[in-house]
Amino acid sequence: MNSYRFFKNDGIHWGSSLVFFRLILEKKERKLPTTLLSNFEPKDVWTEFLALTKTPRCSKQEEKVLGYLEEKALRKGYNYQKDRVGNLFVDLPPTKGSETIPGIILQSHVDMVCEQNRGRNHDFSKDPLDLIVEEDWLRARDTTLGADNGIGVAYMAALLEGSYNHGPLQLLFTIDEETGLTGAIQIQHELLKYKKMINLDTEEEGYFCIGCAGGKETIGTLRLQKRVPNPSEVTLDLEITGLRGGHSGAEIHLELGNSLVILGRILGDFIRVAPLHLFHVYGGDKHNAIPREAFATFSCSKIDLAKFQERLVYWESILKNELGSLDQGIVLKLLSTSKEPDNGVLTAEDQSKIINALQTIPHGIYGWSRAIENLVSTSTNFAAMHMDKESARFLTSQRSDQTTQRDWIALRTGAAMAMSGMKVKESREYPGWNPNPNSPLLKECLRLYPEISGKEGIIQSIHAGLECGVIGDKIPGIDMISFGPDIRAPHTPGEKVSISSVRRTWEFLLRLLEAGK
């Protein structure tokens, strides 16, 4: 009997590579010489991933990585084409003796989430990643690693470059997945050749994904007015840092700290203690990342400074207790600054609207599946809030495996925004992927995986968006599966990938392609 699991657990990995361990006997952490990564097994895969760590590929900036892949296809003599939006399709003919194997699509997205710790000053447009090894894990120093979905891209590039047994393959490299599934949504689906597809964007080894949530974004914009600041007041920076953050779908069930929600709580408390005057608030970035940091700049009377400092000590104790062991790194600071209010401070009315919005915009789980145990059904992520001279913009992201529930939590989020005087719009809507437990691809994976690993495969449906949902909506009847190696903390500077898991998953992928069922 197969095991079933429907949400992610950060504690799972399967072991380690002896070849790798010989490299780290002297230290737990070691900076990785870039020439060394290509000596790990499988050599072809790590050579390709090393190239990706040196190639710019932030979302919407994929030109160089696509050029790298196109050059490979051209040099190898394979037919390839790009569609209108920029997705790359490469045809690999069957190897000798595999001509009768049915064709299959392999798919990964080429872009990565480009995040870094505050103060790192990494330029993703030109700087190679600074790679670190820790036991069986590879990560980048103070930045995202891009193993999501770079390992999948590396698998496909290795197939393109190397000589492995397989039937007819179409390699589909999609663009701009991380900021809204742009490549999948705008794909020229008539260019897809086959009715089977393997997506390589799942982040736990041995888990075979057959379903995902759909989603949309709800955005609120508030026009601002400013007034002349009081020159006798002191100016302070309130900083919330050190939170773990994480993927707003795959890790929403962990109930990690949201820096914007916390900022709303603290500012709401501060204004009950003493008057303050906001002139800047910001936090978060990506729609699919739980925000790790948030900041506010305000002025106040000098005699009230001690009151705010005392309340901040109180809040740090309260929050560490509430967040528990998963998010103990939170740091709260109140610092004096010489910043001048940009075009004045907020009016009392606008300040009230912003603090109310920070306190009332919903965030977190809003429904569990009634069909599948322990699966989050509906959630919303308060993802980002940014201000300029004229307006404040609030970004949220809703997910659900039920379209009606997704639309309801989006409506509720929009209502909270409207009550704070915002103009509300919805965007980037995409469908979910309904699980098919009778999938032939799934059955073949569950048959082969124990032969490779000695463990049974686990069937999974996830509370996150996968390109399978969008592509499957365009190709009725397509048989799809998603799997991949162990990756932890994607979308954060703590992202890391298991080296031994990359090898095992590669061996499984080759066996699956060779079997060709």
Active site residues: 111, 177
| 80 three-class SS | strand
Which residues sit opposite 395 in a β-bridge? 219, 384
Q: What is the dihedral of CA 172, 108, 372, 411, to 10 degrees?
A: -90
| 353 three-class SS | helix
Token look-up 């992927």 returns 433
Task: Give the separation between CA 330 and CA 311, rounded to whole angstroms.
Answer: 16
Which residues sit opposite 138 in a β-bridge? 133, 497
Q: Six-digit token pair at 471?
A: 């592509």
Question: Among residues 297, 283, 144, which one has the least CA distance to residue 229?
Answer: 297
Compute how many other C-beta atoms are within 10 angstroms of the C-beta atom of residue 99.
10
Q: Six-digit token pair at 399?
A: 């997910």
Task: Give the separation between CA 68 and CA 78, rounded to whole angstroms.
Answer: 14
Q: What is the dihedral of CA 65, 115, 108, 19, to 10 degrees?
A: 90
- Peptide linkage before 102 cis (omega within 30 of 0): no
The end-to-end CA distance of the chain, in Å, is 21
Compute how many other C-beta atoms are within 10 angstroms of the C-beta atom of residue 403.
13
Compute how many other C-beta atoms are within 10 angstroms of the C-beta atom of residue 343.
12
Task: Give the separation between CA 428 and CA 132, rounded to whole angstroms.
Answer: 35
CB 420 within 8 A of CB 223: no
Task: Give the separation between CA 231 and CA 234, rounded to whole angstroms.
Answer: 8
